[in-house]
Protein backbone atom coordinates (compact mmCIF):
# COMPACT_ATOMS: atom_id res chain seq x y z
CA UNK A 1 0.00 0.00 0.00
CA UNK A 2 0.95 3.61 -0.38
CA UNK A 3 0.63 4.63 3.25
CA UNK A 4 1.32 3.42 6.77
CA UNK A 5 -1.07 0.69 7.83
CA UNK A 6 -1.88 -0.54 11.31
CA UNK A 7 -3.78 -3.50 12.65
CA UNK A 8 -6.09 -4.11 14.28
CA UNK A 9 -8.01 -0.88 13.94
CA UNK A 10 -9.81 -1.56 17.21
CA UNK A 11 -8.96 -3.88 20.09
CA UNK A 12 -10.95 -4.55 23.22
CA UNK A 13 -9.23 -6.61 25.89
CA UNK A 14 -9.58 -7.49 29.52
CA UNK A 15 -7.31 -6.12 32.19
CA UNK A 16 -4.28 -8.35 32.64
CA UNK A 17 -4.23 -9.72 29.09
CA UNK A 18 -1.37 -9.14 26.63
CA UNK A 19 -1.95 -7.35 23.32
CA UNK A 20 0.08 -6.98 20.13
CA UNK A 21 -0.31 -4.05 17.77
CA UNK A 22 1.14 -4.12 14.28
CA UNK A 23 2.52 -1.40 12.04
CA UNK A 24 3.47 -1.67 8.36
CA UNK A 25 5.47 1.43 7.43
CA UNK A 26 5.84 2.93 3.99
CA UNK A 27 8.19 0.78 1.94
CA UNK A 28 11.75 2.05 2.10
CA UNK A 29 11.26 4.24 5.15
CA UNK A 30 14.10 3.67 7.57
CA UNK A 31 12.59 5.50 10.55
CA UNK A 32 9.57 4.16 12.45
CA UNK A 33 7.88 5.74 15.46
CA UNK A 34 5.21 4.68 17.94
CA UNK A 35 3.09 7.32 19.68
CA UNK A 36 0.11 7.20 22.01
CA UNK A 37 -2.89 9.51 22.21
CA UNK A 38 -4.91 9.10 25.39
CA UNK A 39 -8.45 10.42 25.75
CA UNK A 40 -8.34 14.06 26.71
CA UNK A 41 -4.57 14.17 26.49
CA UNK A 42 -2.10 15.01 23.82
CA UNK A 43 0.18 12.82 21.80
CA UNK A 44 3.21 11.28 23.47
CA UNK A 45 6.23 9.51 22.07
CA UNK A 46 6.79 5.84 22.93
CA UNK A 47 9.64 4.35 20.89
CA UNK A 48 11.69 5.08 17.77
CA UNK A 49 13.52 2.78 15.34
CA UNK A 50 16.11 4.05 12.86
CA UNK A 51 17.61 1.55 10.45
CA UNK A 52 19.66 -1.10 12.23
CA UNK A 53 20.47 1.10 15.22
CA UNK A 54 19.32 0.24 18.72
CA UNK A 55 15.83 1.67 19.26
CA UNK A 56 15.19 4.74 21.39
CA UNK A 57 12.90 3.41 24.12
CA UNK A 58 12.95 6.53 26.27
CA UNK A 59 9.19 7.14 25.92
CA UNK A 60 7.96 3.72 27.03
CA UNK A 61 5.88 4.28 30.20
CA UNK A 62 6.73 0.99 31.90
CA UNK A 63 8.48 -2.34 31.37
CA UNK A 64 5.13 -3.82 30.35
CA UNK A 65 5.63 -2.09 27.00
CA UNK A 66 8.02 -3.41 24.36
CA UNK A 67 8.43 -3.19 20.62
CA UNK A 68 10.41 -4.81 17.89
CA UNK A 69 11.00 -4.17 14.25
CA UNK A 70 11.80 -7.19 12.14
CA UNK A 71 13.83 -6.93 8.95
CA UNK A 72 13.77 -3.17 9.10
CA UNK A 73 10.11 -3.11 8.09
CA UNK A 74 7.10 -4.31 10.10
CA UNK A 75 6.95 -3.36 13.77
CA UNK A 76 5.00 -4.86 16.65
CA UNK A 77 4.19 -3.04 19.88
CA UNK A 78 3.42 -5.41 22.74
CA UNK A 79 1.71 -4.45 25.97
CA UNK A 80 1.83 -7.11 28.68
CA UNK A 81 -0.63 -7.36 31.56
CA UNK A 82 -2.72 -4.50 30.22
CA UNK A 83 -4.16 -1.94 32.62
CA UNK A 84 -7.14 0.36 32.16
CA UNK A 85 -4.84 3.36 31.87
CA UNK A 86 -3.34 1.76 28.74
CA UNK A 87 -6.59 2.56 26.90
CA UNK A 88 -5.66 4.96 24.11
CA UNK A 89 -5.11 5.28 20.39
CA UNK A 90 -1.70 3.91 19.44
CA UNK A 91 -0.26 5.58 16.37
CA UNK A 92 2.60 4.49 14.17
CA UNK A 93 4.49 6.82 11.84
CA UNK A 94 7.35 6.39 9.42
CA UNK A 95 9.73 8.71 7.62
CA UNK A 96 12.31 8.28 4.89
CA UNK A 97 15.05 9.21 7.31
CA UNK A 98 15.50 10.90 10.67
CA UNK A 99 14.11 14.45 11.07
CA UNK A 100 11.91 14.30 8.01
CA UNK A 101 8.18 14.52 7.38
CA UNK A 102 6.44 11.74 9.29
CA UNK A 103 3.56 9.82 7.76
CA UNK A 104 1.04 8.55 10.28
CA UNK A 105 -1.01 5.40 10.21
CA UNK A 106 -4.72 5.39 11.11
CA UNK A 107 -4.00 4.13 14.61
CA UNK A 108 -5.21 1.25 16.76
CA UNK A 109 -7.86 2.15 19.30
CA UNK A 110 -7.23 0.04 22.41
CA UNK A 111 -9.83 -0.32 25.15
CA UNK A 112 -8.91 -2.20 28.31
CA UNK A 113 -11.93 -3.25 30.35
CA UNK B 1 5.70 24.07 31.82
CA UNK B 2 5.28 22.02 28.66
CA UNK B 3 8.10 22.16 26.16
CA UNK B 4 5.64 23.01 23.37
CA UNK B 5 2.77 25.41 24.01
CA UNK B 6 -0.01 26.24 21.58
CA UNK B 7 -2.56 29.02 21.58
CA UNK B 8 -5.43 29.28 21.44
CA UNK B 9 -6.68 25.90 22.66
CA UNK B 10 -10.00 26.44 20.93
CA UNK B 11 -10.89 28.73 18.07
CA UNK B 12 -14.18 29.41 16.32
CA UNK B 13 -14.20 31.41 13.11
CA UNK B 14 -16.62 32.39 10.38
CA UNK B 15 -16.04 31.11 6.88
CA UNK B 16 -13.68 33.38 5.02
CA UNK B 17 -11.82 34.67 8.06
CA UNK B 18 -8.03 34.72 8.34
CA UNK B 19 -6.88 32.38 11.10
CA UNK B 20 -3.65 32.29 13.09
CA UNK B 21 -2.55 29.53 15.44
CA UNK B 22 0.57 30.06 17.52
CA UNK B 23 3.21 27.69 18.84
CA UNK B 24 6.03 28.46 21.28
CA UNK B 25 8.72 26.05 22.37
CA UNK B 26 11.35 26.15 25.08
CA UNK B 27 13.97 23.72 23.78
CA UNK B 28 16.48 23.70 20.96
CA UNK B 29 15.02 22.07 17.90
CA UNK B 30 16.12 20.73 14.55
CA UNK B 31 12.69 21.08 12.94
CA UNK B 32 9.10 22.03 13.68
CA UNK B 33 6.03 20.31 12.28
CA UNK B 34 2.42 21.34 11.85
CA UNK B 35 -0.05 18.45 11.80
CA UNK B 36 -3.78 18.25 11.15
CA UNK B 37 -6.18 15.78 12.76
CA UNK B 38 -9.81 15.60 11.65
CA UNK B 39 -12.42 14.25 14.10
CA UNK B 40 -12.15 10.47 14.17
CA UNK B 41 -9.48 10.69 11.53
CA UNK B 42 -5.82 10.17 11.15
CA UNK B 43 -3.02 12.67 11.40
CA UNK B 44 -1.68 14.42 8.33
CA UNK B 45 1.56 16.33 8.16
CA UNK B 46 1.03 19.85 6.80
CA UNK B 47 4.49 21.36 7.09
CA UNK B 48 7.97 20.64 8.33
CA UNK B 49 10.19 23.68 8.65
CA UNK B 50 13.42 24.72 10.29
CA UNK B 51 13.57 28.34 9.15
CA UNK B 52 11.63 31.00 7.33
CA UNK B 53 8.26 30.40 5.78
CA UNK B 54 6.40 27.77 3.77
CA UNK B 55 3.15 28.03 1.83
CA UNK B 56 0.82 25.35 0.54
CA UNK B 57 -2.46 26.48 -0.93
CA UNK B 58 -4.29 28.54 1.68
CA UNK B 59 -1.93 27.47 4.46
CA UNK B 60 1.17 29.36 5.49
CA UNK B 61 3.63 28.37 8.22
CA UNK B 62 6.34 30.62 9.62
CA UNK B 63 9.04 30.09 12.20
CA UNK B 64 11.28 32.45 14.13
CA UNK B 65 14.18 30.43 15.52
CA UNK B 66 15.52 33.26 17.70
CA UNK B 67 12.15 33.80 19.38
CA UNK B 68 11.32 30.04 19.43
CA UNK B 69 7.95 30.71 17.90
CA UNK B 70 5.96 29.46 14.93
CA UNK B 71 2.61 30.41 13.46
CA UNK B 72 0.20 28.60 11.18
CA UNK B 73 -2.06 30.83 9.11
CA UNK B 74 -5.15 29.83 7.17
CA UNK B 75 -6.41 32.30 4.60
CA UNK B 76 -10.04 32.36 3.38
CA UNK B 77 -11.02 29.72 5.94
CA UNK B 78 -13.60 27.11 5.03
CA UNK B 79 -15.70 24.70 7.14
CA UNK B 80 -13.62 21.81 5.84
CA UNK B 81 -10.63 23.36 7.65
CA UNK B 82 -12.32 22.41 10.94
CA UNK B 83 -9.90 20.09 12.69
CA UNK B 84 -7.33 19.93 15.46
CA UNK B 85 -4.02 21.51 14.50
CA UNK B 86 -0.98 20.22 16.33
CA UNK B 87 2.47 21.74 16.59
CA UNK B 88 5.36 19.32 17.19
CA UNK B 89 9.14 19.64 17.37
CA UNK B 90 12.16 17.42 16.82
CA UNK B 91 14.34 18.22 19.82
CA UNK B 92 16.77 15.97 21.67
CA UNK B 93 16.08 12.96 19.55
CA UNK B 94 14.39 12.32 16.26
CA UNK B 95 11.02 11.68 17.82
CA UNK B 96 8.37 14.40 18.03
CA UNK B 97 7.34 16.33 21.13
CA UNK B 98 3.80 17.60 20.72
CA UNK B 99 1.83 20.66 21.74
CA UNK B 100 -1.63 20.24 23.16
CA UNK B 101 -3.36 21.08 19.90
CA UNK B 102 -5.74 23.82 18.76
CA UNK B 103 -9.31 22.80 18.05
CA UNK B 104 -10.58 24.92 15.12
CA UNK B 105 -14.19 25.18 14.07
CA UNK B 106 -15.07 27.20 10.98
CA UNK B 107 -18.75 28.02 10.71
CA UNK B 108 -20.46 28.57 7.34
Which chain B residue has the Cα nearest residue A47?
A: B95
> Measured between CB atoms, which of A59, A100, A104 is closest to B42?
A104
Report pLDDT digits (tens) over A64-107.
999 999 887 999 999 999 999 999 999 999 999 777 899 999 99
Asked if B43's CB is within 8 angstroms of A98's CB, the reply is no
Mean pLDDT for all residues in chain B: 94
Q: What is the pLDDT of residue A59?
A: 92
In sequence order, which residues have a C-beta less than 8 Å from that of residue B8 and are 6 or more positions away?
Answer: B21, B102
pLDDT, residue A61, reads 93
Convert the pLDDT of each residue in B16-65 to its tens digit. Answer: 999 999 999 998 898 999 999 988 778 999 999 999 999 999 999 999 99
Q: C-alpha dihedral over B25, B28, B32, B38, to 10 degrees?
A: -40
CA distances to A14, A35, B42, B106 from A11, in Å? 10, 16, 17, 33
* Residue B31 forms contact with A (CB below 8 Å): yes
In total, the C-beta contacts within 8 angstroms joining chain A to chain B are: 49
pLDDT digits 0-9 by tens, A21-65: 999 999 999 999 999 999 877 899 999 999 888 899 999 999 999
Residue A1 has pLDDT above 70, yes or no: no
Mutation site for B-interface testing, chosen from A94, A99, A103, A107 by largest number of B Cβ within 10 Å: A99
Residue B84 in contact with partner chain A when CB distance is under 8 A: no
**B100–A contact, CB cutoff 8 A:** yes
Contact: B86, A43; criterion CB under 8 Å? yes
Distance CA A41, CA A34 (A): 16
What was the pLDDT predicted at A15?
A: 97
**C-alpha torsion A92→A95→A97→A101, nearest 10:** -120
Of A31, A48, A102, the CB nearest to B45: A102
Cis (ω within 30 of 0) for the bond into B8?
yes
Amino acid sequence: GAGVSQSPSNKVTEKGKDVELRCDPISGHTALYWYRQSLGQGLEFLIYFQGNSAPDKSGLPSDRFSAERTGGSVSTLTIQRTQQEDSAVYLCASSSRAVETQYFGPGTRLLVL
Amino acid sequence: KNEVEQSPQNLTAQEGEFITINCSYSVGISALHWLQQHPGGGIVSLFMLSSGKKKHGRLIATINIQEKHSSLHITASHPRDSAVYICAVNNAGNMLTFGGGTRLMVKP
